[in-house]
Structure formats: structure tokens, C-alpha cells
Chains A and B, each alone.
Chain A
């Protein structure tokens, strides 16, 4: 256990180091893509906490992402002089509230019922974002400018892509590490065990409903933060940020990466963003490929890329893989 944790810390430090040297290696276009990958990695990690850890399949995760994205856009437009921190904080507060209220309603159901309800709620938010033109800009969307990062004594220009990349790397990266830390805590382990045997957890005196609501709200906040960075990154926010397609995107990222490991969805985000960037240059039929990848993965690699990696590991260490999807594990 201790060596495993030690390896994880080394792994995290290595990732940050790798991220730190990237601006010297990559061109602007690819650095742009990497920023996108980092913010979507957070979105996917938050989704995996729901799907992989708690076993809750949501088709409405985009409502938090979009809520965060819109809160940043609307507040930057309507509150003059708002700092980048202020906008992000507002987004976090908003999504926490939305997560708490919708979670209270949605979590009364499980399984397919839950999935269906989240989809319906997402549609409600999407409808509001589309129709409430005076606030959200409807089909036209909202354009914003990134405010500079002001420390009082010094300001760092966020107009510069490299600076914003470092900002994203540090903040979003730290939050992802916090998520990983969360899965190691008693609360994170409770969620895992709840998925395995809820009756027993109830019997042991855990209030599973409250644990689930806390987790749901937490993942909503994380998705909202990812959404906030989405607006800041693209300096634009439209109703597509809150659409069902955005949920499908994160679902596919998580699924391609694999729900079996904490790091799986981050790998999925990486593969997805790169694939989408290149495929959309080649063909307009991107959704068709998305559907085909979906069906292919469900049929043949139900555990995602982490399953393949795990099988390869087992192959080299002489163990045999089960071929079944892996359960979420720490590390």
C-alpha cells in the first residue's frame, strides 16, 4: 500500500513536470489542444467519480459543465472589473447549489430511471439556455475576454496562451490531484463500498443517501469548474456547452479511457480530443465514428483502454486477464 502510494506521488509529480516543459516543446496550436485536454480531463474525472466509483450513469452531467461555463460568461459580461478568481468562484458556488437541488430530486431513483431523469433535467437546462436569449445569448452564444490574473502587486496577462496554459495546469491539475486524494479518503472508500453492497453499508450505520448526495454535488462542482475553464479557454460560451452532446462527449471520454482506474478517464480525454481534432479535419461524419467507436467498445472492450493496458501488464507478468470490465480501484 505504501509503495503504491509512493509510486502514485511520483507519477503525479512526473505528470506536472511533463506539463511544465510542454510550452517549450509544443507549437501554439498543440498547446491550445493540451489546455483543452486538461480541462476535459477534469470533466471526465468528475464523471468517473459518478459512473466508475458510485455506479451512477448520468446523461445530464453537461448541465453542471454548462452551468459553470455560463456563470463565468454571464458574470464577466455583467460585473465590470470582476477578477478571474471571482468568476471561477461564482461558477463553483452556482454549480454546487444546482448539484445539491437537482441531486435531491434525481437521486431518489437508481439505474436506468436515474439515467433517464438526468437526461430530462439536462434538456430542461438546455431549453432554458436556448430560449433565455437576453441572458445566455441563445444560439449566438456569449463572447468574453479573459481577465488578467491579478495578485495585487503584480498582474499576469492571461491573453497570452502560455500563461493561461500554466494557470490551467496548476489549478485544474491541483483539483484533479485533490480528486485522487478524495478517492483515498474514508468518504471515497465509502462510496466504493456503497456501490458494491449498499444494504450492508446501511446496516453498518452509514447514511447512504447523504453520502450519495454529497458525491453527486461534489462531482457537479468539479464539472462546473471544468466548464468555467472551458469558457475561459475558448473565450466563448454557447448552448452547446450545456447540450446532451456535451454529456455524450464526457461519457465517451470516460468510457474509452475506462472506468476501472482513476487515471482512465484522463487518458480517454487525451485520446478523444486528439482524435476529434484530427478526424474533424478529415470528415464531417465525426458523430458516425463516435457511434461506431461506442458500439465497438461496448461489445469488445467493455473495460476501455485501461482494460487493454491491464491485460498487457498481466501478459508480461504472467497473469491472465478476466476480460471483464474492471471495478474502480484506487491509484
Chain B
């Protein structure tokens, strides 16, 4: 029974991380129709920034604040200087651009920090364990899940309850009209992309202490995040929540129940969803 609880909680923690990564991806995709292949590379960049900051200051909370801001700036620059220029050539060129960026970021990271895993120690009360349902469990994994709930709630509030959210959703539907109403739509899109990048940085800071920091971390989570978006439905925040939970638990219990098959389970889920509902669980019909 306690084994079940441990794996369940492991699944929740991974689901939380997956949601944090895919939320930014799905936001940018849903709003700008740009599938950002560099998203996971930015996430890795966030993790490495956080590693360095922790080495220098030892302040986890500080890096949780600063790294997303750094990524926000990087994201804004990428959108402004690169992505916007290739928009006229269509989505193939946009995809290729972010793909090339992912390569560059990964190589720069290897160059700067080396091609080996770096362990991240956070210390403080987050590094301790807690008694839960009669088992000892690391607080940090619970913290990840709480973070995911927090980020999801804030995003939903902004998108559906504020004036900013109305502007965002309107810009997607009819950019010209919103522009004519005196709102700087290109700036809105820069903001959306930068916010997506900031989210990736936030996820990266969170991931560091859980998975350690290494150059392969981007490629590893990228595919899972893509599967989350496919299963949940493209551009759907609610879909990302449900799909993250499904895939997190599937990964966790897959290792416990079918150790040999575990790597294929996620893809089998994806294939099953595609056969039954090609647009994903919460996706609108294309």
C-alpha cells in the first residue's frame, strides 16, 4: 500500500514538472501558432542559470525569481529579432528557426558548463522529508506539484478573468481588429513568447534539483511535453493539466508494473488517443 502511495506521489511530481514545461509550450502554440522547438532548450538554460546562481549565492528562492526573468528577456529578443522576420515565410520556416536555435543553445550549454550531469543541492526546508500517509517523502517533490497548481491557476486567472486575457484571446482571433482598437498587437505577441520562455525557465529551475542538470535534459523532456500537448489537445490549458497527470502517473506506474514496456506506454497512450480522437482529449476540431 505504501509502495502504491510512493509511486502515486512520484507520478504527481513528474506530472507537475511536465505541466510546467508544456504550459509555456501550449500557450505559445495556442496564441501564436508557433511550435517552439527551442522551448526545452530554454528550459535547460533556466536549469543551468539556476545551477550557477545557486553555486554563487545558495539562494534557491532567488534563482526561482531571477532565472525566469532572464529567460523572459531572451525570449523577447528571440521573438523580436529572429522569429518575427521569418513569419512571412510560413510555419515551416518558423519551426526550422526554433529548431536551429535549440541546437545552438544546447551546444552553447555544453561548451559553457561541460557535457556531464551537475548535481543541484537546494538545502533549506525544501531539501528535507516529511511524514505522509505513514511514509517518509521528500518535501521537494510535493513542492513541485504545488508550484504546478499555482502556475496553472495564475495562467487560467489571467487568461479568463482579466482585461489582459481578453486582449490576448482577441488578438488571436482577430489581430487586425484589436490593432485598430489601439492595442499594439506585435508587442502582445512578443510578450506572449517571452512569457512562454519565462515559464520554461521557471520549469528549468524546478527541474534542476529533481533530475540534476545535464545537456540531455532538454531532449528528454521535449518529447514528453509534445506528447502532453498531443494527448491534451493542441493549445488547450485544461488538456495540458489532464494529460500531464495521465502521463506522469503512467510513467511512474509503468516503471513499477511493466518495467520493460514502460518507455513505450506513453507513446501507446498517444497512439490510442489519436485513433479515437485525433484532435486530443480537449482539442477543438481543426
Measuring CB to CB, which residues of chain A are less than 8 angstroms from any residue of chain B?
A: 51, 55, 57, 105, 108-113, 115-117, 119-121, 123-124, 127-128, 131, 244, 248, 251, 255, 285, 287-288, 290-295, 298-299, 302, 324-325
Contact = CB atoms under 8 A, between A and B. Distances in A.
A299 B85 contact: yes
B100 interface: yes
Contacts of B223: 119-120, 123
Contacts of A120: 223, 226-227, 230, 267, 270
Contacts of A324: 89
B107 A248 contact: no
A116 B223 CA distance: 9
A291 B33 contact: no
Nearest to B25: A116
Contacts, number: 104
Contacts of A128: 264
Nearest to B267: A124
Interface of B: 29, 33-35, 82, 85-86, 89, 91-93, 95-97, 99-104, 106-108, 111, 219, 223, 226-227, 229-230, 234, 260, 263-264, 267, 270-271, 274-275, 278, 286
B86 A302 contact: yes
B275 A105 contact: yes
A115 B95 contact: yes
B111 A285 contact: yes
Contact of A112 (B86, B91, B103, B271): B91
A109 B227 contact: no
A149 B129 CA distance: 66
Q: B34, B92, B234, B271: which has the most chain A beta carbons within 10 Å?
A: B92
Given A128-B264, A299-B97, 6 more contacts: A105-B271, A112-B29, A251-B99, A288-B108, A291-B101, A325-B93
Contacts of B33: 112
Contacts of B219: 244
B89 A295 contact: no
A295 B95 contact: no
24 contacts: A57-B92, A57-B95, A111-B91, A112-B34, A112-B91, A112-B95, A115-B95, A116-B226, A116-B229, A120-B226, A120-B270, A127-B264, A248-B99, A251-B99, A285-B107, A287-B103, A288-B107, A290-B100, A294-B96, A295-B97, A298-B86, A299-B85, A302-B93, A324-B89
Nearest to A302: B89
Q: B35, B86, B91, B103: which has the most chain A beta carbons within 10 Å?
A: B103
Contacts of A123: 223, 267
A113 B234 contact: yes
Q: Is the interface of A mostly helix, strand, loop or mixed?
A: helix
Nearest to A255: B96
Given A108-B278, A123-B267, A291-B107, A117 B230 contact: yes
A265 to B, nearest CB: 15
Nearest to B270: A120
A116 B35 contact: yes
Contacts of B82: 295, 299
B277 to A, nearest CB: 10
Contacts of B260: 131
Contacts of B267: 120-121, 123-124, 127
Given A112-B29, A119-B223, A127-B264, A294 B100 contact: yes
A121 B226 CA distance: 11
Nearest to B85: A299
B65 to A, nearest CB: 30
Contacts of B275: 105
A148 B138 CA distance: 61
A287 B107 contact: yes
Contacts of A110: 286
A293 to B, nearest CB: 8
Nearest to B35: A112
A108 B107 contact: no
A123 B227 CA distance: 11
Nearest to B234: A113
Nearest to A292: B104
B272 to A, nearest CB: 11
A282 to B, nearest CB: 15
A302 to B, nearest CB: 5
A299 B100 CA distance: 11
Nearest to B97: A298
Nearest to A55: B92
Contact of A119 (B101, B107, B226, B274): B226
Contacts of A113: 230, 234, 286
Contacts of A244: 219
Nearest to A289: B107
Contact of A251 (B86, B96, B108): B96
Contacts of B93: 298, 302, 325
A48 to B, nearest CB: 12
A325 B92 CA distance: 12
B44 to A, nearest CB: 14
B35 A295 contact: no
**Nearest 5 A/B pairs, CB to CB:** A294-B100, A291-B103, A288-B107, A291-B104, A124-B267
Contacts of A108: 274, 278
Contacts of A131: 260, 263
A55 B92 CA distance: 9
